[in-house]
């Protein structure tokens, strides 16, 4: 609603989120990553009249970008085809099928990846809007060919910049090259795009956490150190591990597939080992808050916030988080998760439950009794049964995984999300149900069951588990 000069309210028509994307072409960096894939799927599924989506794919580990693009829809598609039609299909046929598919020519074979299943069933033509382009953030002009560059400069209306290295132990020089200089290259490109309307940068809320702050608001904070100082640290060879592990985004609560998860980052390894019973003691206070959010909520917020962007001098920042509206404590996380593991008979050790302490001495004693001794006993039994030992080794991995996230478990920050809440409240009920991102609706106990389902189905790929 708008108020005119003569105080008469004008009711402006509601514009659905999907309408913003009609006919608009999109450029996504990081589209091969955890968040990028879900974002790509959601745009194609829920904004059906979107234009083309250009995905930047780099050469990696001696595999060319083109080859990697072929596997984008999950190699299961190829494996499945091999299983189903062993005789008439050979590698050359498969390659041809992939190529036809990627060249957006009609093709009989359809991808069978879970992530793209609903799109494949309901709107397969939209899969053809994905255009893979070869490039790398670390190169000038992202290493794009002149033809691709021209297409992007002519066509693109929205850029989602998600590509980054999020390894917490990445050397600073590499992190700077990809995350800072790479972002600069993307921005330079955007400046020359004729139709650009929105540039979206995906970062992590934890980049603003430090020892002094207790509350993080949706605003730009000053950088902790000037860039030239960072570069002189690199030149001096003073590269300490500066990264914080990603803790935030956890399996999809609902879309595109319940429990969708693709990596063992953040809290997942510790939760898994807690559930199995191999990790029982955690540094931190049980009442501390664990800041996690389902990946689909992050993606929905991103899609909606982009559609509602209006030009201004301020850079709007949106937080996708739960601590201020629906806090989940460490104690609840452990309880809900281990309870579900017990219910499903997923645990290895009969003892379960989580013990919290902030004392290093108490932790060492508890670990020895509840983790180290059972691991040695289990390995001893395996040895007697002439099976390969594994549990002492696993124990060491538990300790590493637990220490990687320790800083975040022992500190408390309140993440504010007023802008995000206002955006959600401004959507009509239809858009709220197409793009849910209101964290107060999450039932954490149910979500922990979905989390475990995601681990079993998508990470462990357990046989006979559905």
Residues engaged in binding ligand NAP (CB under 6 A) = 29-30, 32-36, 56, 58, 60, 136-138, 162-166, 178, 182, 202-204, 246, 248-249, 266
CB of 369 to ligand NAP, least distance (A): 33
Shortest Å distance, C-beta 301 to ligand NAP = 11
Strands (E), 85-161: 130-134, 156-161
Q: Give the nearest distance from C-beta 208 to ligand NAP in angstroms.
A: 12
Closest by Cα among 156, 429, 138, 193 to 306: 156
Closest distance to ligand NAP from the beta carbon of 279 (Å): 20
Which among 228, 275, 267, 231 has a CA at the least distance from the CA of 251?
A: 267
Shortest distance (Å) from residue 340 CB to ligand NAP: 21
Of 164 and 189, CB closest to ligand NAP:
164
Bond preceding residue 211 cis, omega within 30 of 0? no
What are the residue ranges of helices labelled H in 330-461? 330-343, 360-367, 373-384, 391-404, 406-409, 418-426, 429-434, 444-454
To the nearest whole angstrom, how small is the minimum distance from the Cβ of residue 177 to ligand NAP? 8
Instruction: Provide, rounded to whole angstroms, the least separation between the CB of residue 56 and ligand NAP.
Output: 6
CB of 126 to ligand NAP, least distance (A): 21
Q: Per the structure block, which two tokens stand in for 394?
A: 């696993």
Token pair of 299 as six digits:
């993606």
Q: Of 141 and 204, which CB lies nearer to ligand NAP in the complex structure? A: 204
**9-10/2-3 β-pairing:** antiparallel
In the complex with ligand NAP, which residue's Cβ is closer, 93 or 145? 145
- Closest approach of Cβ 119 to ligand NAP, in Å? 19
- Among residues 30 and 436, whose Cβ is nearest to ligand NAP? 30
Nearer to ligand NAP, 197 or 204 (CB): 204
* Residue 90 vs 203, nearer CB to ligand NAP: 203
The CA-atom distances, in angstroms, between 62 and each of 55, 99, 102, 141, 163 are 19, 20, 21, 22, 19
- Residue 63 makes CB contacts below 8 A (sequence gap 6+) with none
Please answer whether residues 300 and 436 qualify as being in contact, where contact means their C-beta atoms are separated by less than 8 angstroms: yes
Nearer to ligand NAP, 186 or 372 (CB): 186
Enumerate the β-bridge partners of residue 158.
26, 198
Q: How would you write 49-98 as a 3-class SS string? A: CECCEEEEECCECCECHHHHHHCCCCCHHHHHHHHHCCCCCCHHHHHHHH
254 vs 348 by CB, closer to ligand NAP = 254
Q: How far is the CB of 62 from ligand NAP (least distance, A)?
A: 13
CA distances from 122 to 44, 45, 127, 316 (A): 11, 9, 11, 34
Among residues 34 and 278, whose Cβ is nearest to ligand NAP?
34
Q: Are strands 156-161 and 130-134 parallel, antiparallel or unpaired?
A: unpaired
Q: Which residue number, 58 or 457, has a Cβ lying nearer to ligand NAP?
A: 58
Q: Of 293 and 449, which has the nearer Cβ to ligand NAP?
A: 293
Measured from the CB of residue 171, what is the shortest distance to ligand NAP in angstroms? Answer: 14
Residue in the block written with tokens 């549990």: 391
The residue whose Cβ lies closest to ligand NAP is 33
Residues 6+ apart with CB under 8 A from 378: 391
Angle at 286 between CA 282 and CA 287, to 5 degrees: 150
Residue 133: phi, psi to the nearest 5? -125, 140
CA distance 28 to 161: 6
Contact 277, 347 (CB under 8 A): yes
């Amino acid at each position: 609603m708008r108020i005119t000069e003569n105080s008469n309210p004008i009711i402006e028509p509601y514009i659905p989120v999907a309408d913003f994307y009609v006919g608009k072409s999109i450029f996504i960096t990081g589209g091969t990553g955890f968040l990028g894939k879900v974002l790509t799927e959601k745009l194609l599924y829920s904004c059906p009249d979107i234009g083309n989506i250009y995905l930047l794919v780099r050469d990696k580990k001696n595999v060319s970008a083109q080859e990697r693009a072929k596997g984008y829809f999950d190699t299961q598609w190829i494996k499945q085809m091999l299983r189903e039609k062993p005789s008439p299909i050979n590698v050359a046929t498969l390659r041809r099928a992939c190529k036809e598919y990627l060249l957006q020519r009609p093709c009989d074979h359809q991808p069978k990846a879970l992530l793209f299943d609903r799109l494949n069933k309901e709107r397969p033509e939209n899969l053809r809007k994905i255009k893979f382009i070869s490039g790398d953030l670390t190169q000038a002009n992202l290493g794009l060919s002149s033809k691709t560059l021209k297409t992007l400069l002519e066509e693109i209306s929205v850029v989602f910049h998600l590509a980054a290295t999020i390894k917490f132990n990445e050397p600073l020089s590499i992190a700077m090259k990809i995350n800072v200089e790479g972002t600069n290259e993307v921005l330079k490109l955007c400046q020359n795009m004729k139709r650009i309307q929105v540039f979206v940068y995906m970062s992590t809320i934890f980049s603003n956490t430090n020892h002094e702050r207790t509350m993080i608001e949706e605003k730009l904070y000053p950088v902790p150190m000037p860039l030239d100082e960072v570069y002189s640290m690199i030149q001096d060879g003073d590269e300490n591990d500066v990264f914080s592990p990603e803790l935030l985004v956890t399996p999809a609560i609902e879309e595109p597939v319940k429990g969708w998860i693709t990596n063992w980052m953040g809290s997942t390894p510790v939760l898994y080992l807690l559930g199995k019973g191999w990790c029982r003691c955690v540094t931190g206070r049980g009442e501390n808050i664990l800041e996690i959010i389902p990946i689909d909520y992050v993606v929905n917020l991103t899609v909606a916030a982009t559609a509602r962007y209006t030009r201004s001098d301020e850079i709007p920042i949106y937080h996708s988080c739960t601590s201020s509206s629906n806090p989940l404590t460490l104690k609840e996380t452990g309880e809900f998760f281990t309870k579900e593991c017990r219910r499903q008979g997923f645990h290895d050790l009969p003892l379960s439950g989580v013990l919290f302490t902030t004392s290093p001495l108490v932790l060492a004693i508890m670990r020895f009794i509840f983790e180290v001794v059972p691991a040695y006993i289990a390995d001893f039994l395996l040895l007697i049964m002439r099976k390969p030992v594994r549990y002492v080794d696993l124990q060491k991995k538990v300790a590493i995984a637990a220490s990687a996230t320790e800083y975040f478990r022992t500190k408390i920050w309140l993440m504010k999300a007023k802008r995000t809440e206002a955006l959600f409240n401004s959507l009509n009920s239809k858009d709220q149900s197409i793009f849910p991102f209101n964290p107060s609706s999450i039932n954490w106990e149910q979500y922990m069951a979905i989390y475990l389902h995601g681990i079993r189905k998508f990470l462990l790929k357990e046989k006979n588990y559905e």
